């Protein structure tokens, strides 16, 4: 029952992990012992007496640790116990375990293993960076190895916790112990934990030494959260084409535009073309009401061909497939469909007609006819120009594109080639800028 107390005493007294074991011991050690007492059957008075003895034993143990630490003083690490002395002490600990024999159960060894790993898991970053090399590594490795041989069955649990907290050195030691004792540890699940908390060094260790290969789940979750550092780590490590495509979909659905912008160039164009409809549908299904990610893909011309990108959006907008999310379908119908383009043409034409009515029939003391032509154009089309500038991206929505086509047609006095315009809206913007006052154009661009 007191084996894990002995582990605390030995490690803390050794000074290998100074003072941290002492600070944790008083909280964890006592609570664990009281838990064990509550599990025991028996009279409550006896439990109370046992609890009091535990408290006294704890106080005595802490005094021993403190006395030993003071006796050691601030001596240099280099002067601590030699490798031979450490091996001798490990042998003594092994002898104690052999003498205890059947008096120690598997549960005792499991608790002792947890007791040894707990501080290393939570506070490893507070130790000397080199604690897991040399003598310190020998101590921890030897102790944990003996506890596993004695029957500790929580190696995987401690391994996952160490991964979650980013205790890379402990992860490395536990990997070695598991390999030596033919124990299974879930390196792929550990990679998921480490990536969730952005423990990059631990992720390196799990892949290089633990041979973790399950990238898809952690990559998608990182993309959904917008964790650029982790996404970049996976991409640089090497991901399959479909993994990248699914991560792009996850980032799009969560409106993680920055991550989507990073992933988009890494997904091969043929994959995007083949799965374009499914990507937009899946992103819409998991969007949670925000379609900023879908809008980003369309504005970015994610297929690398304006006509193809517009066509995919129009196909989904016209689809009778009930699996298409209603909010996605409505959004595409209103902004990115052929019908939206025609609506944009109509609205811009009506705007022009209203402006001409005011120009000819207006009774204001300030006659629009007397203003310079560029100012008249600004009154009519400056709001549209600013909206197009603010939209950004390589492509405008079909509705904005329709308004811009009609505006350019009225200003130039002849029909604009809409098929040519599908390749980009910059030609139309140039026409509008040519007729607007230069100072207003510069102000809008800045």
- Residue 22: predicted pLDDT: 47
| Measured distance CA(76)–CA(58) in Å, rounded | 29
Tokens of 46: 């006896």
Q: What angle do CA 227, 230, 234 make, to 5 degrees?
A: 135
| Measured distance CA(54)–CA(61) in Å, rounded | 10
Tell me what the mean pLDDT of segment 241-261 comes to: 96
Q: For the segment 26-73, what is each residue's pLDDT rounded down to a tens digit?
A: 444 455 555 555 555 555 665 566 555 545 544 544 454 454 445 555
CA dihedral (304, 305, 310, 314) in degrees, to 10, reads -90
Q: For the segment 261-273, what is each residue's pLDDT rounded down to a tens digit?
A: 999 999 999 999 9
The band of 93, judged by pLDDT with boundaries at 50, 70 and 90, is: low
Q: For the segment 349-368, what is each residue's pLDDT rounded down to a tens digit?
A: 998 888 888 777 766 656 67
Contacts (Cβ under 8 Å, ≥6 apart) of 342: 402
- Residue 65: predicted pLDDT: 44
Tokens of 411: 């200003």
Task: State the pTM of this model.
Answer: 0.77
- Residue 420: predicted pLDDT: 55
- Which of 250, 251, 217, 211 has its CA nearest to residue 234? 217
- Residue 48: predicted pLDDT: 63
| Measured distance CA(299)–CA(363) in Å, rounded | 42
**Could you tell me what percent of the chain has a pLDDT over 90?**
46
Tell me what the mean pLDDT of segment 160-183 comes to: 93
Q: For the segment 357-400, what is each residue's pLDDT rounded down to a tens digit?
A: 877 776 665 667 777 888 888 888 899 989 999 998 899 999 99
The band of 312, judged by pLDDT with boundaries at 50, 70 and 90, is: very high
Distance separating the N- and C-terminal Cα atoms of the chain: 73
Q: Is 72 exposed, middle or buried (0-12, 13-18, 19+ CB in 10 A)?
A: middle
- Residue 79: predicted pLDDT: 43
**pLDDT score of 198 more than 60:** yes
| Measured distance CA(340)–CA(333) in Å, rounded | 6
Q: For the segment 212-226, what is each residue's pLDDT rounded down to a tens digit?
A: 999 999 999 999 999
Q: Note whether 309 and 269 are within 8 A (CB).
A: no
- Which of 274, 223, 228 has its CA nearest to residue 247? 223
The band of 423, judged by pLDDT with boundaries at 50, 70 and 90, is: low
- Residue 6: predicted pLDDT: 53
Higher-confidence residue of 16 and 149: namely 149
Tell me what the mean pLDDT of segment 292-303 comes to: 96
Q: What radius of gyration do the chain's Cα atoms show? A: 35
Domain ranges of the chain: 3-74+81-154, 234-335, 340-445
- Which of 136, 148, 9, 151 has its CA nearest to residue 78? 136
Please, what is the angle between helix 83-100 and helix 135-150, to 10°? 10
**pLDDT score of 89 more than 80:** no
**pLDDT score of 428 more than 50:** yes
- Residue 26: predicted pLDDT: 47
């Amino acid at each position: 029952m007191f084996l894990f107390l002995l582990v605390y005493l030995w490690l803390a007294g050794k000074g290998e992990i100074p003072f941290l074991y002492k600070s944790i011991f008083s909280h964890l050690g006592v609570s664990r012992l009281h838990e064990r007492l509550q599990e025991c059957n028996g009279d409550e008075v006896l439990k109370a007496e046992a609890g009091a003895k535990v408290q006294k034993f704890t106080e005595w143990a802490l005094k021993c640790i403190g006395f030993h630490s003071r006796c050691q003083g601030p001596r240099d690490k280099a002067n601590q116990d030699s490798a031979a002395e450490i091996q001798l002490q490990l042998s003594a600990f092994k002898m104690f375990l052999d003498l205890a024999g059947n008096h120690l159960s598997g549960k005792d060894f499991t608790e002792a293993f947890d007791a040894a790993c707990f501080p290393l898991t939570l506070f490893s970053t507070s130790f000397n960076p080199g604690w897991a090399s040399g003598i310190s590594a020998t101590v921890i490795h030897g102790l944990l190895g003996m506890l596993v041989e004695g029957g500790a069955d929580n190696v995987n649990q401690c391994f996952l916790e160490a991964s979650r907290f980013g205790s890379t050195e402990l992860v490395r030691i536990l990997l070695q112990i598991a390999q030596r004792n033919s124990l299974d540890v879930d390196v792929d699940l550990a990679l998921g934990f480490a990536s969730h908390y952005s423990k990059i060094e631990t992720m390196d260790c799990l892949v290089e030494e633990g041979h973790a290969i399950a990238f898809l789940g952690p990559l998608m979750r990182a993309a959904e959260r917008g964790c650029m550092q982790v996404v970049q780590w996976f991409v640089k490590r090497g991901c399959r084409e479909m993994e990248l495509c699914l991560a792009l979909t996850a980032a799009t659905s969560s409106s993680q535009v920055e991550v989507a912008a990073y992933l988009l160039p890494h997904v091969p164009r043929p994959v995007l073309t083949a799965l374009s409809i499914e990507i937009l549908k899946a992103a819409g299904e998991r969007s949670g009401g925000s379609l900023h990610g879908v809008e980003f893909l369309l504005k970015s011309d994610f297929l690398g061909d304006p006509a193809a990108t517009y066509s995919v959006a129009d196909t989904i907008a016209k689809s009778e497939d009930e699996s298409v999310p209603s909010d996605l379908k409505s959004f595409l119908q209103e902004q990115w469909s052929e019908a939206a383009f025609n609506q944009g043409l109509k609205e811009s034409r009506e705007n022009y007609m209203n402006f001409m009515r005011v120009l000819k029939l207006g009774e204001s003391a300030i006659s629009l006819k007397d203003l310079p032509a560029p100012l008249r154009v600004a009154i009519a089309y400056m709001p549209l120009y600013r909206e197009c500038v603010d939209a950004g991206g390589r492509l405008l929505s079909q509705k904005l594109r329709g308004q811009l086509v009609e505006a350019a047609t009225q200003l130039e006095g002849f029909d604009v080639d809409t098929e040519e315009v599908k390749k980009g809206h910059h030609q139309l913007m140039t026409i509008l800028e040519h007729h607007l006052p230069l100072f207003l154009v510069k102000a809008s661009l800045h």
